[in-house]
A = this chain, B = another copy of it.
């Protein structure tokens, strides 16, 4: 039996693109992991009618659980609780104990913003204690409480109402799973699924389509696997969801991919290239941790930022250089100005000199150099927008260089360059 679930993300700022939604995909992933079947994320503005229609759409599609995000704030356009109350046939009532608990939460906020009118804050937030009668309260993580609201008349979906900020929504969801019997009841009967991922780098998506046909021809029962492929930051991801009984089918499929794409398949265990690079830099029995430093021109610091995304990256990353101008390449990374004059800043030679310069400046074992034309201006027939030269060098004398011609916008080219760099680092470290 499958438990269908839906997600309603509210907020005109999300609908109109000023804020990018992280909650819908996060909740969907959570529901998948619980064995539910997320069928849609509906993003709507702050208008009550649109929120109500989205709830009705998901209910009519047979969802037994709907999670909402957003619209629980203090302003008048925050209306989700009231709409869910209407949807479930429940009147809105002030919960006085909840109001008192919110007042306690607000006290430190008021001391942080001493200029504010405390009365105004209390009025704004009284609203947050008005909830559908009989709803289960999920205690606030910020100032907004969440709710679990079942239909008064029975027979419809349970609605879990969550706040918009991800740092409030995520712990509240986790707590609700633990504490709310109504939520657990709505999820009862969810099937068990497995989910596995293959990641490939350096091939077009159409090659996977050919492999899927080959698998079919070889008798692999693909209809027992739910396979999706997508391009993500320059890599091809193949995600497969299947019931435990179909594990041998998945194994046969994965084996075929391993055989056909041995050179481009870099991950079959869910690890990202970022994780693999850190795994390779890590100390092992034979040697201490290897350190890494980048000297970046067109990426302007994005690679260093990506290398320091994970906690604990300071073991391997001491720092880096952003060398946007030629003067900075010379002064910080020690690139010979005559070399830049001779071959141009976007060249294999300068990328290599940047890698060596980063290594020297930061006393690192591994150096990375990136120099390219991110556009939209600055391209020539010989060196068009999207041309990026990359180099990785190691203190032991090994070195790799490559160039790529990346498509897309300035932001795409800059982001994609960091993926190319990580794969080049990985190749060098694998030897």
Instruction: Collect the chain B residues with CB atoms within 8 Å of residue A120's CB.
Output: 206-207, 209-210, 213
Scan residues 6-30 of chain A and give those whose CB is less than 8 A from a CB of chain B: 11-22, 24-26, 28-29
Check: A230 CB closer than 8 A to any chain B CB.
yes
Which residue of B167, B231, B376 is within 8 Å of A165 (Cβ)?
A: B231
Within 8 Å by CB of A332, from B75, B304, B361, lies B361
In contact, B314 and A318 (Cβ under 8 angstroms): no
Assess whether B318 is in contact with A212, with CB atoms less than 8 Å apart.
no
Whether the pair A209, B124 counts as a contact (CB closer than 8 A) is yes
- Chain B residues within 8 Å of A117, by CB: 210
Q: Which of A46, A231, A318 has most B Cβ within 10 Å?
A: A318
Cβ-based interface call for A32 (8 A) = yes
Residue A125 interfacial (CB < 8 Å): yes
With an 8 A cutoff between CB atoms, is A382 at the interface? Answer: no
Q: Evaluate contact between A43 and B45: CB separation under 8 angstroms.
A: no
Q: Is the CB of A212 within 8 A of B16?
A: no
Closest chain-B Cβ to A116's Cβ sits at a distance in Å of 6
**Of the candidates B18, B38, B44, B209, which one forms a contact with A232 in the assembled complex, judged by CB atoms under 8 Å apart?**
B18
B206–A75 touching, CB < 8 Å: yes
Q: A74-B205, A311-B410 are in contact. Are A43 and B44 (CB under 8 A)?
A: no
Q: Is the CB of A15 within 8 A of B38?
A: yes
Whether B50 pairs with A39 at a CB distance below 8 angstroms is yes
- Asked whether A76 lies within 8 Å of B25 as measured between CB atoms, the reply is no
Shortest Cβ distance from A238 into B: residue: B75
Asked whether B301 lies within 8 Å of A208 as measured between CB atoms, the reply is: no
Which of B20, B42, B228, B377 sits near A20, CB closer than 8 Å? B20
Assess whether B116 is in contact with A207, with CB atoms less than 8 Å apart.
yes
**Does A302 have its Cβ within 8 Å of any Cβ on chain B?**
yes
Select from chain B the residue with minimum beta-carbon distance to A11. Answer: B230
**Distance, CA A229 to CA B237, complexed state (A):** 36
Q: Could you give, for residues 187-230 of chain A, a 1 whenever the CB lies within 8 Å of some chain B CB and a 0 otherwise?
A: 00000000000000001111111101100000000000011111
Distance A376 CA – B311 CA, assembled complex (angstroms): 7
| Number of copies of chain A assembled together | 2
Q: Report the minimum CB–CB distance from A7 to chain B (whole Å).
A: 8
Which of A149-157, A281-289, A323-331 forms part of the interface with chain B?
A323-331
> A303 an interface residue at 8 Å Cβ cutoff?
yes
Q: Which of A53-61, A87-95, A248-256, A390-398 contacts B (4 or more CB under 8 A)?
A: A53-61
Rounded to whole Å, the gap between the CB of A109 and the closest CB of chain B is: 7
Inter-chain CA distance A26–B411, complex, in Å, is 15
Would B322 and A320 count as touching, CB distance under 8 A? yes
Chain A: residues with Cβ within 8 Å of the partner, total of 109
Asked if A123 is an interface residue, CB under 8 A from chain B, the answer is: yes
Determine whether the beta carbon of B44 is less than 8 Å from that of A15.
no
Whether B311 lies near A319 (C-beta < 8 A) is no
The answer to whether A209 touches B75 (Cβ under 8 A) is yes
Tell me the bound Cα distance from A75 to B236 in angstroms.
12
Provided the pairs A239-B13, A323-B319 are in contact, do residues A299 and B309 lie with their beta carbons within 8 angstroms? no
Q: Is A82 an interface residue (CB 8 A)?
A: no
**Alpha-carbon gap, A305 to B311, bound state (A):** 20
Beyond A239-B18, A375-B311, whether A325 also contacts B318 by CB under 8 A is: yes
Query: Which residues of chain B come closer than 8 Å to A129, judged between CB atoms?
Result: none
In the complex, besides A300-B317, A319-B321, 18 extra interface pairs with C-beta distance below 8 angstroms are: A11-B230, A12-B230, A12-B239, A13-B228, A20-B20, A40-B44, A40-B54, A41-B44, A75-B209, A113-B203, A113-B204, A113-B207, A116-B204, A124-B210, A301-B305, A320-B322, A321-B321, A331-B362
B-binding residues in A (CB < 8 A): 11-22, 24-26, 28-29, 32, 38-46, 50, 53-54, 57, 61, 73-77, 109, 113, 116-117, 120-121, 123-125, 165-167, 203-210, 212-213, 226-232, 237, 239, 296, 299-305, 307-309, 311-314, 317-325, 327-328, 331-332, 361-363, 375-377, 407-412, 414
Report 17 cross-chain contacts, Cβ distance below 8 Å, ordered by A residue: A16-B32, A16-B239, A18-B237, A24-B43, A39-B50, A40-B42, A40-B44, A57-B57, A77-B228, A120-B206, A120-B210, A167-B409, A300-B309, A311-B376, A318-B327, A319-B321, A319-B328
